[in-house]
Amino acid sequence: MIGGASRLIGILLFSVLVRLVLWPLAFVVAIFSDRVKAQLAGRRASHEDAVELARLRRGFDDCVVFFCSSAGEYEQAKPLIDRISASSNILCHVFFFSVSGEKFLRARKDSVSWSLAPPDHVWAWASLIAALRPSKTIVIRHEIWPVFTWIAAQWGAVVIIDAVVPSLWGRQAKWKENLNLAIKAWLLKSVNQIFVVSPSDARFFEQWLMIPPERLFIAGDTKYDRVIERARMQSEFVGELRIRYRDIWRPEGTELVLIGGSVHLPDVELLVDVFAREGLQQVRLLLVPHDVSSGNIAKIFECISNAGMSCDLLSELESSNFKFLKAQPRVIIVDEMGRLSDLYGVADFAWIGGATHSKVHNVLEPAAWGLPVSCGPHFQNSQEALAMSSAGLLFHSSDAEKIRKHWLQLFSELEGSGEQALKFAQAMSGASDKIFDVLFKTSNSVMVSK
């Protein structure tokens, strides 16, 4: 199935372009962009990683490589990594494109083997993949790099999981869509199996990308498994957190905890507007910013303080072991990465950030903890958010008064609404077992039927 001489020539030409033009250009851009500079800083020379990976690989019977764009994709891969690692002596190694994956793993103290992805050319990937000798390479959702995918295919099967219709499909100029389809169809020639989330995704890959039905499997989305399994594993630890955030931190007059998950400054500004209105005095606010850089934390702190709401940073409260020397703050800002999934377990309801101004973050994690979920109006990037909205389980608005009224009504039915959200997440789980059975137990039970 892998292309012949013309494909090899294309891979080599692309490699030359990346190595001699695009990669040096990235360092020039980094002079003017702190974000690009941060992405480049953590990447080592490929041969250094290859030596270490070859040494590690010798202790295992087999290897499975995962390619994750960032922390979110790693969370989707984690249920499979856990199942593979528990079943046999197989090394699971993760390549991250974004340094956010590295930061997430360090914050979570996860012991998985990982590397930052090198530039996408043959001189970088050839030694790394040869050192790992993977029998399978699993790409999460959409990170289909041409050289990486082609080289991985020389060693074993290449698999995509959690594949969906692109979020921009039908929203671009026709020529741009046709170009994107042609490029993606060419890239998928190196892929052996594609696990899609739904029948409509399967139809898209078969009709528009010309993928034969025998290479398509309908499995669902592993992120549902991850949030359910993580909530179950963390229940004991979260019990200790609940004492701290529900009993010790209890500003006078407050009974309920709203958690703002992955919030941006526009989310905070909207929430401040909501809480400036009547009727929400019984709610205290636990804010977990998406960006925990000192500059962003300072802006959020200033926004809350200017609204007349008392506020403290979590890092300062933890350094004093939650011994309040003054009146307890109504708002706590979580200024450390990797804390959000645990803290959902202490809240009564959730606001998920991003959708106020751009695109929504993960609405599944709070649902898995049995929390009613709200967000801004821009949630169409997320299939699970769309599904929850269709089921009447996701309230979305950017109107402060509508949000206030919704929450006041919600307070009388918190438990029932939370149970519905949890049942939704549980009903959507099971993808990881289906994928694992097909890849490692040769089951064909979820193949697309014709």
CATH number for the domain spanning 343: value is 3.40.50.2000
Judge if 119 and 233 occupy the same domain: no
- Between 276 and 109, name the one with better pLDDT: 276
Judge if 403 and 261 occupy the same domain: yes
> Over 90: is that where the pLDDT of 118 sits?
yes
Q: Band of the pLDDT at 108, cuts 50, 70, 90?
A: confident
447 is a domain residue: no
> Over 80: is that where the pLDDT of 449 sits?
no
Judge if 140 and 270 occupy the same domain: no
340 is a domain residue: yes
446 is a domain residue: no
Judge if 203 and 261 occupy the same domain: no
What is the pLDDT of the chain when averaged over all its residues?
91
Judge if 338 and 212 occupy the same domain: no
449 is a domain residue: no
Judge if 134 and 68 occupy the same domain: yes
Judge if 310 and 173 occupy the same domain: no
Judge if 183 and 281 occupy the same domain: no
Q: What is the mean pLDDT of residues 348-367?
A: 95
Judge if 261 and 287 occupy the same domain: yes
> Over 70: is that where the pLDDT of 383 sits?
yes
Q: How many domains does the chain have?
A: 2
Judge if 247 and 170 occupy the same domain: no
> Over 50: is that where the pLDDT of 444 sits?
no
Q: Which of 86-90, 130-134, 235-239, 392-396 has the lowest mean pLDDT?
A: 235-239
Judge if 104 and 201 occupy the same domain: yes
Judge if 195 and 312 occupy the same domain: no
Q: Which domain holds residue 359?
A: 229-427
> Over 80: is that where the pLDDT of 278 sits?
yes
> Over 90: is that where the pLDDT of 389 sits?
yes
Q: Report the predicted TM-score, pTM, of the whole model to 2 decimal places.
A: 0.81
Each residue of 190-235: pLDDT tens digit?
999 999 999 999 999 999 999 999 999 999 999 889 988 888 877 7
163 is a domain residue: yes
Q: What is the mean pLDDT of residues 245-271?
A: 96
Contacting residues for 213 by C-beta, under 8 A, at least 6 apart:
202, 206, 447, 448, 450
What's the confidence (pLDDT) of residue 442?
Answer: 60
CATH number for the domain spanning 114: value is 3.40.50.11720
448 is a domain residue: no
